[in-house]
Amino acid sequence: MNEDFVEVIDAETIERRVGELAAEITAAYPQENLVVVGILKGSIIFMKDLLDQLPLNSTPQFLALTRFGNQGRVSVTLDIDEQLDDKDVLLVMEIVDTGLTLATIRKMLEDKGARSVSTVALLDKAPRRIVDVPVEYRGFEVGDEYLLGYGLDWKGLFRNLRSVWAVMNMPQFLEQPDSFVEVAYAADKERPNARKVPQRG
């Protein structure tokens, strides 16, 4: 058993919880044309799986941000292209920690005229919260470990894993990141309908 990396949420558990979240959101907005805004790049997989189970009149939009400083300040590098006046907006995030960036984004969307803004986050590092910002729909509360998979990356890698992993030995990982590849994709191969992963040369 490898103790450097731990699969903290498996693919089946994520799939089940995403379905539950989609049902909760659908019940809250039964007749509304919900604007679903994903924050690039981390939300892509979660948002796609969520949209699969939301009503067909839900419309996807994306925001790309550059964060700077430690006060939640952001610069928008890709903005949404839909007017939000008098519309309900669902903000999709793969993870929330301090809440600083989330609070900034919510205010941005409210300033665009949204009738309401709610947030769905797959993962919540609630103990790290600095500002009191609502997360109306949350998948799982997690610890302070560095997480990989299901949208969470290291230097752009590992977002496409279907489960979430915790790095327990960061020095080892930084020295030999391929050691995680071996562990994570070995576990992935054991699942039904596993993907064939090309070997890295």
Q: What residues are annotated to the active site?
A: 97
C-beta of residue 67 within 8 angstroms of C-beta of residue 102: no
How far is 8 from 11, CA to CA, in rounded Å?
Answer: 10
The structure tokens listed for 23 are 């049902």
Question: Beta 116-124 vs 5-9: how paired, if at all?
Answer: unpaired
How far is 29 from 32, CA to CA, in rounded Å?
Answer: 5
Task: Using alpha carbons, select from 2, 58, 70, 1 the residue that is nearest to residue 26.
Answer: 58
Question: 116-141: buried (b, 16+ CB within 10 Å) or exposed (e) per residue?
Answer: bbbbbbbbbbeeebeeebebebbbee
The structure tokens listed for 118 are 């709610």
Question: Beta 74-78 vs 59-67: how paired, if at all?
Answer: antiparallel
Task: Using alpha carbons, select from 47, 48, 65, 118 the residue that is nearest to residue 89.
Answer: 118
